[in-house]
Every structure is written in C-alpha cells, then in structure tokens.
Structure 1
C-alpha cells in the first residue's frame, strides 16, 4: 500500500529574510498570506542545518530583493482590487472644470503679460503731444485773430472822413510785414536728402542719430540774408511771412519761423526784382553755398514766379522800445 505524500514542512522566516514591504491592508488575501516558505522534508532538514548568510550591505540586500522578490507586493495587491467604473457625468464634469480652470489661468496670464509690456512713458508722451498740439492750435488761432483785427483797424482808419490814405504809412507797413502783399519774384525750394550722408556741421540737427546732413536753420538764414541783400521786399518761408520781429531758429529737432513749426521741403518765396534775385541765388554767384549743400545731397531749386501772394506777418506788441527824439 503506497504511503500518502506528506505535506512539505514549513518553517517561520527569520527576521533577515522577511519582506521589506508588507501587504497592503486592502488586499483580500492579507490574512491568508504571510512570510512563509514551503519546502520538502529533506530540504527542510538540510536548510535547518545550513547557516543563512545575513545581508547587511544595502547593495547585497538590493540584489537579494531583485533575485528572490522581483514582483513588488503592492503591485500584486493592486491587481487583486477591481477598478470602479466612473459615471459619464463625473467624467464630463471633471473635464469641464479643468477646461474652465485652464481658460481662467490663460486669461490671467495674458493680462499679466500685457501689464508687463505696457510702457507708462508712452501714455505720458501721448498726453504731452496732444497737449502741445492743442496749445499750438490755440496759439495759431489767436495769432490769426490778432492779425485780422489789425487789418480791420487799418481798414477802418483809412475809411475815416478827412483822412486820406497815407502812402508813407502804407509803405512802412508793407516793408515791416504788417500788410499782406503780392507781386512777382522767385521761389527757392530746399529739401532734406533722401540718401544718408556724413554730417559735418555743428548744429543740433546736423548730428542726429542717423548721421544725415539735413537742412538747418543756418541754411535758411543764409538764403534769407542773401535775398534781403539782393533787394527782396517781402519774404516768407512755408507760408509764414518774415517781419521785423520774426526769427528763424531751431528748437530741438524742429525749425521755427517765429513760433510756427516748419518741415521739409522748405519753400522760400521772395517778392522783388526777378533778375537781381535770380542772379543772387545763382550757383555762379554762390559757389561755396552750392558746394556745401550739394555735398550733403541738398539741391536748391530756384524758379521765377509772376504772381506771389504773401500774408501779413504775425503782429507783436512793443513794450520795451520807446521813440527816440
């Protein structure tokens, strides 16, 4: 009669051979599973007599774990649990919440970036520019009103009874620029060069950031002086009449005729003898001036006109000057 097979002997695992990570609490077999090893009777006898090497070194303990326990206990327990199915409502609700959060974060980021890129100086500069334009418009309007009132006063004075026109007064007013005049003369046109060149002047507009030699107030002053010297009776620059108190100067990077800004091209109109004025502004009469302007790319254009109309110069009050006896 064959002997029934005996169940392999089991023995308790020593402390050094126990698992480092315990079974998870949620495992269904947590009570049935434990750190036990089942071996045969002969192997148990030989194993009890054999001394087990203690693993003290961490590297040897790691090798022992990889060799004897390659599967992590937590992974084994995770496979024992069954994943619950989420409802469609919960899934779509979570997606909508995440989408709203992403939109809010993106909007806040855009606002933050725009605030970082905002230049407060630009707003201040725009405000100052608008204020300056409003002041210039108001000044121009006031100047026009003053000139019109001066013209009306002169007209009313001439229309008074027993007061005939005074030719001397009229001649003086036309010479001083107080009255609008018309007649024949020449037109001198100057424009800033298109191509860049080397600046060799000392004026503030001649040494700008791009090193372009442009038309300066000194150039306009030289031409105006030459025209006065040649016998010009009335001169205007870009429609602004030159009177006894009108200046041609530079303010920053802008040329001013009195208090009015002018820009390229500069149109200088002069009433007088066309022949004398044309000869005075000829390249043969002014070779140095033409040589300097042509070297910078500025080419003066001189043309004759038989009908020029120049407005009256801006009227200014006299406060410090007194009549000399």
Structure 2
C-alpha cells in the first residue's frame, strides 16, 4: 500500500494588521475627489477643448465688485452716522446760545421795569405840580383796571383742578388732546373767569398770570395758555373783589357752569379767603386809545 504524500504541516502564518483607515474610505474619497464625477467630467472636457475654467476668468472681476460694494457701504455708513463729538459740540453751542439769550432777556426786562418806574414817577410829579388830584386818581384806577400795575387787597383764591380719574392717553398722559375726560379745558377757565368778572371781581390772575380784557385763554398742545404762558393744574385763580363775590358767583352762569362740570365729570374746585391777595402786573400793556385831559377853566 502506498501512502500519498501529505502536505507538510507548518505553523499558522500571522495575519497582516487591518488598515484602520479602511472604515474611512468614503470620507477619504470625498476629500480626494470633492467634485461630483459629472462636474469633473465636464471640466475635463472643457480643458481638453482648450477652454479655461469659468471661475478663473471671473474671480478678479468678482473680487473688484465686492470691494467696490464694501467701499460704498462704508462711505454710506460714515455719511449717515453723526460723530458723537460733533453732536455734543452742537448741543453745547445751542445751550450756550439759549443761556446768553435768556441773560439778555433778563437784562432788558429789568431795564423795561426801571423805565416804567421812572415814567410813573414823572407822571406823578407832573400831576402833582398841576394840582390835578382827580386826574391822578383816575390814572391809578385806569392802570389797575388795565393791569398795568401790580395790585393787592382782600379777596379770594379759587382753585380749579382736573378730576381724580381724569382720562389719559395710551401712554398714561392726561395732558394730551386725545384724553379730555375729567380735564379742565381753556373753555372751562373762560366761563369761570367771565363769571368772576360778572360777580364783581376788580382784578384776576391765574397761576400768577394777570388777566385783562386783552388776555387770551387758549388750549394748545398739552397745556392751557394764559398770556401765551403754559400753565399746569391746579389752576389757582386769585381774585380781588368785594366780600359778597363768592355768593354772587355761585348764582350766575359761571358758578352754575363750574357746579355742572364738578358734578358731571368730577372737576374739583375749592375756595379760600385772603385779606391780602397780591396780583402782578400784566406782561405787556399797549396804549391803543388816548384823549387829552381838559383843563379846568380859571
């Protein structure tokens, strides 16, 4: 019996180590070939035909356009933006001009007051030399009625104020034209002042502003204007007049009107008596009409 020759047994050969990057073959392929095969084939076809890649000819133009756009945006931003230093400088200049203007107004106001005092002294002196006491008395009465001089005497102070729940606008401001419920208006003050004159008032001022026959009581924006000066509530109406003025006012149209708005919309009012009500002179009094005084026959 013949035995076939068996293959020689040898120890197992070591298995070569596995490539750790084998699992990253897809990522490596994407890195090495970033272009889609179709795009790469089209680019190769263009290169074979002698055509330069599109991006190569347009990139300088694209960069130039982008630089121009960036420059334009920068110039626009610098043009629209006001430097903080320049704005502060303009603000300081404006404040300085306002302060100088106010100082000039104060100086000229003092000068006007001094000249008026001098004129009044000369008038008194001229009238006293002519022994015209009756003319002097008439002049004093006319000045007081016209509001040309400050006056003082017994009287009353009527305070008129908005209702506690006065209407407000969307921002909660009760002084705008969009919310007049419960607010004192210029028409209200006009009715009250006319009623006070009717009741026997000799002189009236509202929050320190003398009221004369030429005084305008108006509503403008967010405030009531008296003599073109804005006032805010409460409105203190100072009155010089007889002791029965309060009772007479309650019975006339002005008093009835004040009572109606107090009950209807909640406008608040109060009276107090004073033995020395002081009223300033009117801001400006213009002489429109005059007549010569007749000399008495000797």
TM-score grouping bracket, smaller chain normalisation: 0.5 to 0.7
Structure 1: runs of 5 or more not aligned: 23-57, 59-114, 119-123
Contact 2:146/2:285 (8 A) holds in 1: no
Q: CA contact under 8 A between 1:237 and 1:268: conserved in structure 2?
A: yes
Q: Which residue in the other structure is 1:152 paired with?
A: 118
Paired residues, number: 214
**How far did residue 260 of structure 1 move?**
2.1
**Mapping 1:35-46, distance limit 5 Å:** none
Cα distance change, pair 158–288 in 1 and its aligned pair in 2 (3 A): closer
Structure 2: tracts of 5 or more residues without a match:
1-7, 27-80, 85-89, 293-298
What is the match of residue 208 of structure 1?
A: 178
Contact kept? 2:191, 2:257, Cα under 8 Å: no
Is 1:298 the counterpart of 2:264? The answer is no
Equivalent of residue 141 in structure 2, options 167, 171, 176: 171
Matched ranges for 1:244-323 at <5 A: 244-275=213-244, 277-282=245-250, 286-317=255-286, 321=288
Pairwise CA distance, 1:155: 2.0
SS at match of 2:144: helix
State the shift of 1:252 in Å: 1.0
Checking the alignment, whether the CA contact within 8 Å between 1:181 and 1:310 is kept in structure 2 is yes
Give the drift of 1:169. 1.4
Q: What SS does structure 2 have at the residue aligned with 1:174?
A: helix
Match of 1:6 in 2: 10
Q: 1:1-325, aligned counterparts within 5 Å?
A: 6-9=10-13, 19=19, 21=21, 142-143=108-109, 145-160=111-126, 162-164=129-131, 165=133, 166-197=136-167, 207-209=177-179, 212-275=181-244, 277-282=245-250, 286-317=255-286, 321=288
Q: Of Structure 1 and Structure 2, which has the larger fraction of its residues in helix? A: 2
User: Of the two, which has the highest radius of gyration?
Assistant: 1
| Separation in 1, partners of 2:236, 2:208 | 8
Alignment RMSD, CA only? 4.4
Change (3 A) 1:304 1:208: same
Give distance in 2, aligned partners of 1:142 and 1:128: 21
Q: Show the counterpart of 2:61.
A: none
TM-score by length of 1: 0.52
Distance 2:241 2:226 in 1: 21
The TM-score, its normalising length taken from structure 2, stands at: 0.56
